[in-house]
Amino acid sequence: MSFIEFKNVCKMYPGSKVNTVDNFNLNIEEKEFIAFVGPSGCGKSTTLRMMAGFEEITGGELYIDGKKVNDVAPRDRGIAMVFQNYALYPHMTVEKNIGYGLKNMKMPAEEIKKKVDWAIHILGLEEYRYRKPKNLSGGQRQRVALGRAIVKNQKLFLMDEPLSNLDAKLRVSMRTEISKLHRELGATTVYVTHDQVEAMTMADRIVIMKDGIVQQVGKPMELYDHPVNQFVAGFIGSPQMNFFDVDVNGNNVRFADGSNITLSAATAEKLKGHQGMMTLGIRGEDIKVIGPDRKADADTENVLTAVITDTEVMGNENNLYFSFGGCQAVARVSKYEIAQIGDRISFTFVPSKLHFFDKDTGINFMEME
């Protein structure tokens, strides 16, 4: 049995006619780092709160460490939770904030001091031990909130968008700290975020949700390279995957602006005979730019052309925007590939990286069994 098991778990709020979380099934192994991602209202935080016991499960079963916990009180579930709001006591110092929960548990003072000292050391809070929250930065307050959770020595940590109140630089450093903490503690971590970059860089596996329904579960690069549908393909990755309306006829693909490419035999075979109107997806790094006003080699196939409409210099790479196929597209190129607005470029799509999605269901034909 897995450490955590969701079996057809549902949540419906009073007065609603649809489930906020619908038929949720997931197994989480001990010591895994799992991230729940999705747009606002997709049910990810509700699912986490059902794990914590803060929301009633209205259907299905939830097991933690082999025990059914549907009706178990939050304090008896063996969890520690970190919220988006730090919720620190303003009149208490750092060490008292961290140790307050242990004091409520009637733990001996000597044991509390030992645990608080350990948490302060592991989180690098030594010089802030006697400060109150108003004298701490956002990142320091978040570390105190983490300290309050880890001293409880639980096997399961639940984190609900803990970095969303921090600035961009702090978020990057705190991502590293939380990942390191997860490894050192050897606990199971379930992490909710709307930021797919956080999920990609921190999690062992990612659960992508939409409208209360799990769209796909997998390792970060599995989701990136093999999305099962257009929603997953568009949600994971920055900049977003390019999407074009196309008409597929045999191995010929015709774009809305009349441009054409010919599919390789391997790509056509993976399409399994699907024809007609569909959506073609390709990531920006899989659009290979031949160069401004330069001709492709004679043996290069499926060469397309467009005019640069905008550029983004990112330092380590450049994003080139152009109109093609009736859509605005973006190619991710190296920092050495420089183009200016108005330049005409030639480019090709990497054949093995093409995705074809059903216009109605969004299913990725290339990932069908």
Q: What is the pLDDT of residue 229?
A: 97
Determine the residue type at 236: I
Q: Single out the residue of 99, 102, 146 nearest to residue 124, CA to CA.
A: 146
Asked if pLDDT for residue 72 goes beyond 90, the answer is: yes
Q: What is the pLDDT of residue 276?
A: 96
Q: What is the pLDDT of residue 295?
A: 54
Cβ-based burial of 110 (10 A; exposed 0-12, middle 13-18, buried ≥19): exposed
DSSP secondary-structure letter at 339? -
Among 205, 232, 259, the domain boundary falls at 232
Asked if pLDDT for residue 297 goes beyond 80, the answer is: no
Whether residue 36 contacts residue 215, with contact meaning beta carbons closer than 8 Å, is answered with no
**CA dihedral sign, ordered 181, 186, 192, 197:** positive
Q: Are residues 247 and 224 part of one domain? A: no
d(CA 45, CA 40): 9
pLDDT digits (tens, 9 = 90+) for 169-199: 878 888 888 898 899 888 999 999 999 999 9
pLDDT digits (tens, 9 = 90+) for 216-236: 999 999 999 999 999 999 999
Q: Are residues 219 and 259 part of one domain? A: no
Strands 205-210 and 33-37: parallel
Among 201, 232, 263, the domain boundary falls at 232
Q: Are residues 105 and 139 part of one domain? A: yes
Q: What is the pLDDT of residue 101?
A: 85
d(CA 153, CA 19): 34
d(CA 75, CA 54): 10
Instruction: Report the domain count for the chain.
Output: 2
Q: Are residues 285 and 301 part of one domain? A: yes
CATH number at residue 264: 2.40.50.140
SS3 at position 230: helix
Q: What is the pLDDT of residue 34?
A: 97
Q: Are residues 158 and 259 part of one domain? A: no
Mean pLDDT of the region 249-277: 93
Q: Are residues 248 and 144 part of one domain? A: no
Among 179, 205, 232, the domain boundary falls at 232
Q: What is the pLDDT of residue 278?
A: 97
Q: How confident is the model at residue 146 (pLDDT cuts 50, 70, 90)?
A: confident
Q: Are residues 82 and 193 part of one domain? A: yes
Q: Give the neighbor-by-neighbor strand order of the sheet with 79-82.
A: 79-82, 156-160, 188-193, 33-37, 205-210, 213-218
* H-run or E-run covering 270: helix 265-270
Whether residue 302 contacts residue 349, with contact meaning beta carbons closer than 8 Å, is answered with yes
CATH number at residue 151: 3.40.50.300
SS3 at position 91: coil
d(CA 232, CA 247): 22
Q: What phi and psi values does residue 268 have, to the nearest 5 degrees?
A: -60, -35
Q: Are residues 47 and 31 part of one domain? A: yes
The three-point CA angle 173-178-179 to 5° equals: 100
Domain range for 332 is 239-367
Mean pLDDT of the region 58-71: 96
Residue identified by tokens 């074009």 is 244
Q: What is the pLDDT of residue 51?
A: 96
* Mean residue pLDDT across the chain: 91
Share of the chain above pLDDT 90, in %: 68
pLDDT digits (tens, 9 = 90+) for 2-45: 999 999 999 999 999 999 999 999 999 999 999 999 999 999 99
pLDDT digits (tens, 9 = 90+) for 333-364: 998 888 889 999 999 999 999 999 999 999 99
Q: What is the pLDDT of residue 212?
A: 96
Q: Are residues 299 and 180 part of one domain? A: no
Q: What is the pLDDT of residue 299?
A: 44
Q: Are residues 206 and 70 part of one domain? A: yes
Asked if pLDDT for residue 298 goes beyond 50, the answer is: no
Residue identified by tokens 């990942």 is 179
Q: Are residues 42 and 21 part of one domain? A: yes
Q: Are residues 153 and 27 part of one domain? A: yes
